[in-house]
């Protein structure tokens, strides 16, 4: 049984690590989606438009729930920063 307990503990640590990485990736995707949405493509250099299109296309392949989680994680971060700035 001690070996099984070690395996369970190791798997638990790995899942916690992956969940932490997921949260970071959600914040990156959410911030990127917000940035892309705020860009005016008529004012960007061609290379920037192509890069933004690639990013937007990639973001659009995410499941809706994942994208919503990403946007929510950024909104929560922005609200926290705004609250801290107001104090």
Domain boundaries, the chain: 2-86
Q: Residue 33's CB: how many other CB atoms inside 10 A?
A: 19
pLDDT of residue 78: 59
pTM of the model: 0.74
Q: What is the pLDDT of residues 10-27, one digit of tens each?
A: 999 999 999 999 999 999
pLDDT of residue 41: 86
Which of 29, 27, 52 is closest to 40 using CA atoms?
52
């Amino acid at each position: 049984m001690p070996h099984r307990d070690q395996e369970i503990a190791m798997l638990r640590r790995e899942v916690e690590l992956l969940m932490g990485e997921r949260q970071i990736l959600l914040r990156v995707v959410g911030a990127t989606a917000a940035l892309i949405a705020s860009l005016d493509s008529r004012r960007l250099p061609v290379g920037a438009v192509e890069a933004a299109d690639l990013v937007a296309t990639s973001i659009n392949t995410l499941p809706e729930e994942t994208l919503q989680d990403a946007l929510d994680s950024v909104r929560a971060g922005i609200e926290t920063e705004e609250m801290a700035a107001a104090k």
